[in-house]
């Protein structure tokens, strides 16, 4: 399915194409890769799926040639998210696992924790609650062991959302409350208020 872009988006995409071409001429492969990745995300937003994947694959190859493992992993994750949204679960899992491998190679603990959270979404989509929880706990453990407080709260929030979607509200609230505790202690204000709001809504849902 293809949706016509808005005029503003078309201008942004055109400018990014120019930026990518200039970067390529100047031998600035990393800037070229970033522009291609952004074009892919714009096309994804407007549901131009085939073109989005094409640009993201171009970005992936450009990042790989730099080499920029973090950029490549980010782009691989973006491709996985598209396949997941299209219910192409085999491809989604393939790309999410590539992202895990790349973050392991780069040594990025934050990236690895976030990559595991993507696997929570994947296993939730195929209704495998056990594996979804397992990868959420792995994401949390990596973040906790490396004092990555935002990623800790993010992983706990993902687990809270997981159990909410399966109507296991008591478990969901416990994970959200742990995320709130971290956010309050570490003064992560945006995360704190977001998770507090989710807990309030969950209590209302339970009462209803």
pLDDT digits (tens, 9 = 90+) for 135-151: 999 999 999 999 999 99
Reply yes or no: is the peptide bond before residue 67 cis, omega within 30 of 0. Answer: yes
- Which of 23 and 73 is assigned the larger pLDDT? 73
Task: Work out the average pLDDT over 102-124.
Answer: 96
Torsion sign, CA atoms 48, 53, 58, 62? positive
Q: What is the pLDDT of residue 2?
A: 38
Q: What is the pLDDT of residue 105?
A: 93
Query: If we measure between CA atoms, which residue out of 50, 34, 45 comes closest to residue 1?
Result: 50
Task: Work out the average pLDDT over 178-184.
Answer: 89
Per the CB < 8 A criterion, the answer to whether 72 and 80 are in contact is no
Per the CB < 8 A criterion, the answer to whether 70 and 79 are in contact is no
Q: What is the pLDDT of residue 3?
A: 38
**Does domain 108-208 sit in CATH 1.25.40.10?**
yes
**For 1-93, which CATH class?**
mainly alpha
Torsion sign, CA atoms 167, 170, 174, 180? positive
**How far is residue 34's CA from residue 29's CA, in Å, rounded to a whole number?**
9
Q: What is the pLDDT of residue 12?
A: 67
CA 180 to chain centre: 21
Q: What is the pLDDT of residue 199?
A: 73
Helix (H) or strand (E) holding 42: helix 29-45
Residues of the chain with CATH 1.25.40.10: 1-93, 108-208
- Which of 29 and 196 is assigned the larger pLDDT? 29
Give tens-digit pLDDT for 19-36: 777 777 777 889 989 999
Q: What is the pLDDT of residue 195?
A: 72
pLDDT-based confidence at residue 200 (cuts at 50, 70, 90): low
pLDDT-based confidence at residue 207 (cuts at 50, 70, 90): low
Q: Is the pLDDT of residue 98 over 80?
A: yes
Q: Is the pLDDT of residue 194 over 90?
A: no
Q: What is the pLDDT of residue 184?
A: 86
Task: Work out the average pLDDT over 107-125.
Answer: 96
Q: What is the pLDDT of residue 21?
A: 74
The lowest-confidence range among 14-23, 121-130, 166-175 is 14-23
- Contacting residues for 82 by C-beta, under 8 A, at least 6 apart: 44, 49, 52, 53, 56
- Which of 15 and 163 is assigned the larger pLDDT? 163
Q: What is the pLDDT of residue 145?
A: 97
pTM summary value: 0.82
């Amino acid at each position: 399915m293809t949706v016509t872009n808005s005029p503003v988006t078309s201008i942004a995409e055109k400018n990014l194409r120019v930026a990518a071409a200039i970067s390529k001429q100047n031998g600035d492969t990393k800037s070229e890769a970033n522009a291609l990745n952004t074009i892919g995300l714009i096309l994804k937003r407007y549901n131009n799926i085939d073109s989005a994947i094409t640009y993201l694959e171009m970005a992936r190859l450009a990042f790989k040639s730099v080499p920029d493992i973090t950029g490549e992993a980010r782009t691989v994750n973006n491709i996985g998210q598209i396949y997941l949204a299209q219910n192409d679960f085999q491809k989604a899992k393939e790309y999410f696992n590539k992202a895990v491998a790349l973050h392991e190679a780069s040594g990025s603990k934050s990236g690895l924790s976030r990559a595991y959270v993507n696997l929570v979404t994947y296993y939730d989509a195929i209704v495998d609650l056990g594996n979804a929880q397992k990868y959420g706990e792995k994401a949390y453990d990596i973040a906790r062991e490396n004092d990555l407080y935002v990623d800790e709260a993010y992983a706990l929030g993902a687990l809270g959302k997981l159990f909410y979607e399966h109507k296991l509200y008591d478990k969901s609230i416990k994970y959200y409350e742990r995320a709130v505790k971290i956010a309050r202690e570490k003064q992560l204000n945006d995360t704190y208020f977001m998770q507090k709001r989710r807990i309030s809504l969950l209590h209302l849902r339970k009462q209803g």
